[in-house]
Amino acid sequence: MKLFKLLPIIVFGILMSCGEDQDDTPQPNSPNLIIKLKFDPTQERLGNLGQPVSVGSGNAAQSPTINKMSANYIEFAPTATTALGTGEIIFNGDETNAGGDQAINFQNAVFAGNNETFITIPLSDVAAGNYEWVRVSLAYQEGNINVLVNGQDYTGTLASFVGYNSYITSFDLNGSTFDVNENRHQGFWAFEALGFTTQGQAPPGSTTVPNPLFDSSPIPQGSCVVTGEFENALTITGNESQDVTVTLSFSINNSFEWTEVNMDNKYEPEAGEQVVDMGLRGLIPSVSN
């Protein structure tokens, strides 16, 4: 074959080879914002105004072991005067009117356990800025608590629906199914131990929701929006080249509280001791790269 007949084939082969090399060149990964959860029984125990508080008179409390938690809303706030909803909202959970009033759709909730990732989003979706505070609307927490029944100590699992309103079809605790199929207000709870199940409703307004910015940035009662200040402010430049991790550390320091009938500091449902508070007791967000 003549050389001039081979030239088009050679040139085409070179062009195809170069094109393939360019297509196979790895592209750098876009950095993400990673939100992780942490539950700390030694973290300071706060009240609704964000001030240290002790267990209420006539009550007793314990620090549960949290297995998983869900939030329905996360917002970064630049300053202490940033009103709720006007900061950088990075997460909104699914909501529904299936039960009548607007409510958190529990069946589509996102969950995470201790030191686990709750959500991951591209940093490009977060507005550049300097953020000093974070607000988290809590929805659900599930963990183990100690109970005294017939003089015997047992460990059971408590499900706490702390969101403003939750639409629940059904949920499972250790193989026991709770059918609800309607809305439940903040403070609804269920308990399972050794196959025994029960459920109830804490009094309205009794769930603690710490907000250190109560004076400058109040939140609606019953919203369960916990507010915390970054140890070091979160700065997003828009030019990040690696992931940014924000860890939300929640205080579970004596966060499960009940009215004491027998003054033994043990939760005894049979004695008529009633759950009065299941709210988390503070939030400290931190940043790492």
What digits encode the pLDDT tens for the residues 216-234? 999 988 888 999 999 889 9
Instruction: Among 19-33, 56-70, 169-183, 187-201, name the one with the lowest average pLDDT.
Output: 19-33
Amino acid at 194: L
Q: Are 87 and 132 in contact (CB under 8 A)?
A: no
pLDDT tens digit string along 157-188?
A: 999 999 999 999 999 999 999 999 999 999 99
Question: Does position 192 have pLDDT exceeding 80, yes or no?
Answer: yes
Q: What is the pLDDT at residue 25? A: 42
5, pLDDT greater than 80: no
- Tell me which range, 14-18, 60-64, 272-276, is most confidently predicted by mean pLDDT: 60-64
Predicted pLDDT of residue 279: 86
Polymer length of the chain: 289
User: What letter would DSSP give residue 153?
Assistant: E
Per-domain residue ranges of the chain: 49-288
Instruction: Find how far residue 74's CA is from the centre of its chain.
Output: 8
Checking if the pLDDT of 236 tops 80, the result is yes
Other Cβ atoms closer than 10 A to 31: 16
CB-facing half-sphere around the CA of 7: CA atoms within 13 A: 4
How far apart are alpha carbons 12 and 19 in whole angstroms? 11
Q: Which of 98-107, 201-210, 226-235 has the lowest mean pLDDT?
A: 201-210
- Average pLDDT along the chain: 89
Residue 220 is predicted with a pLDDT of 87
Higher pLDDT, 3 or 107: 107
Percent of the chain whose predicted confidence (pLDDT) is above 70: 90
Residue 58 has what pLDDT?
Answer: 95
Q: Name the E strands within 17-149.
A: 32-40, 59-62, 65-77, 88-92, 95-96, 103-105, 117-122, 129-149
Across 145-154, 240-249, 273-282, the highest mean pLDDT is recorded for 240-249
Q: Side chain identity at 145, as an amino acid letter?
A: I
